[in-house]
């Protein structure tokens, strides 16, 4: 018996998201489409995957047994798609990639130089995006590859690979601010100062310190400029302040900071990258293994 890939994907995403509505948002489909796909899968299988008596769908014992096998089917399908791309003779005419501001430039400059020499005729588009915006761009087929901070959860149609590179994030403020003279700065002290927060289009802004006023911006570079103008404190990649700052910011000694940020390469399994895109992914993953 053949099972629809869309129905398998809808089932796994519903499990991971906790509801049909959340799965629909993750897959960029209507709730009725997701519900129907799961119902069709249940009809094909001959048993119920979910108990729908409560407010949220709960896996039945049969659904729990089927879940792992369905995950394996989707993973095998993804591997077959990647093999087909590698075996194909044609190379995509255009490749789009989104990277985060916190990914240090020297991590990708040499890779792009080799890419330009290997694929000189490809139209390459590189943009800056953060977190949920990158996922939205992948699912909207605006980009082929993303490099972002590791997310706690990914939609089931998004494949990931952890990279060796990481970012060091710290709290910065204008060097003439009174907090700079403190040997240790507490959260209570930060509450009295405006926080400058990252706010991407696809998600809620970065959580703010309770009680503190805040401004927001969609990129770390804009936050850096705002902090240099003395508008408040912010969280920034250390490398960015060192390379693009004007020696106007000071790093605050706050307990738990600086922090290290893990980085993932991400791509869509529904519209996977072609040979050139796979080459870039191979380079990124090879860095992970120290090659």
* Pair 38, 11: CB distance under 8 Å: yes
Overall average pLDDT of the 61-83 stretch: 88
3-class secondary structure, 99: strand
The per-residue pLDDT for 28 is: 87
pLDDT > 90: percent of the chain: 62
- Which carries the bigger pLDDT value, residue 84 or residue 144? 144
User: Which CATH number covers residue 139?
Assistant: 3.40.190.290
237 lies in the same domain as 159:
yes
Query: Do residues 41 and 74 touch, judged by C-beta distance below 8 A?
Result: no
Residue 155: the pLDDT is 94
Residue 205: band (very low, low, confident or very high) from pLDDT cuts 50, 70, 90: very low
Tell whether the model's pLDDT for residue 115 goes beyond 50. yes
| Domain containing residue 128 | 94-291
Are 17 and 98 part of one and the same domain?
no
| Residue 189 buriedness (CB in 10 A; 0-12 / 13-18 / 19+) | middle
**Is the per-residue pLDDT at 92 higher than 50?**
yes
Per-residue confidence (pLDDT) for residue 9, from 0 to 100:
93
Mark whether 51 and 121 lie in a shared domain: no
Selection from 232, 187, 227 nearest residue 210 by Cα? 187
Nearest alpha-carbon partner for 11 in 79, 90, 70, 91: 70
User: Residue 208 above 60 pLDDT?
Assistant: no
| Whether residues 144 and 242 fall in one domain | yes
Q: Which residue has the higher pLDDT, 269 or 289?
A: 269
pTM, two decimal places: 0.70
Q: Do you know the residue count of the chain?
A: 291
- Work out the pLDDT band at 290, boundaries 50, 70, 90: very low
List, for residues 26-45, the tens digit of each pLDDT value. Answer: 898 999 999 999 999 999 99
Give the total number of structural domains in the chain.
2
């Amino acid at each position: 018996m053949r099972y629809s890939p869309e129905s398998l994907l809808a089932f796994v995403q519903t499990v991971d998201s906790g509801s049909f509505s959340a799965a629909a948002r993750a897959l960029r489909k209507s709730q009725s489409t997701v519900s129907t796909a799961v119902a069709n899968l249940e009809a094909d299988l001959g048993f119920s995957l979910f108990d729908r008596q409560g407010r949220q769908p709960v896996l039945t014992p049969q659904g729990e047994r089927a879940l792992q096998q369905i995950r394996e089917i989707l993973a095998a399908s993804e591997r077959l798609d990647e093999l087909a791309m590698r075996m194909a003779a044609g190379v995509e005419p255009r490749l789009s990639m989104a990277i985060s501001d916190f990914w240090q430039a020297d991590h990708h400059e040499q890779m792009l130089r080799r890419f330009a020499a290997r694929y000189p005729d490809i139209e390459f588009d590189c943009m800056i995006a953060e977190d949920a915006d990158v996922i939205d761009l992948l699912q909207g087929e605006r980009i082929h590859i993303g490099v972002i901070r590791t997310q706690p959860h990914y939609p089931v149609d998004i494949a990931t690979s952890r990279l060796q590179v990481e970012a060091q994030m710290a709290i910065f403020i204008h060097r003439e601010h009174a907090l700079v003279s403190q040997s240790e700065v507490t959260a209570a002290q930060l509450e009295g100062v405006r926080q400058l927060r990252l706010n991407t289009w696809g998600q809620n802004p970065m959580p703010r310190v309770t009680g503190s006023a805040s401004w927001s911006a969609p990129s770390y570079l804009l936050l850096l400029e705002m902090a240099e103008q003395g508008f408040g404190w912010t969280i920034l990649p250390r490398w960015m302040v060192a390379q693009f700052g004007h020696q106007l910011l000071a790093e605050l000694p706050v307990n738990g900071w600086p922090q290290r940020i893990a980085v993932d390469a991400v791509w869509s399994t529904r519209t996977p990258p072609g040979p050139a895109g796979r080459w870039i992914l191979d380079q990124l993953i090879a860095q992970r293994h120290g090659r």
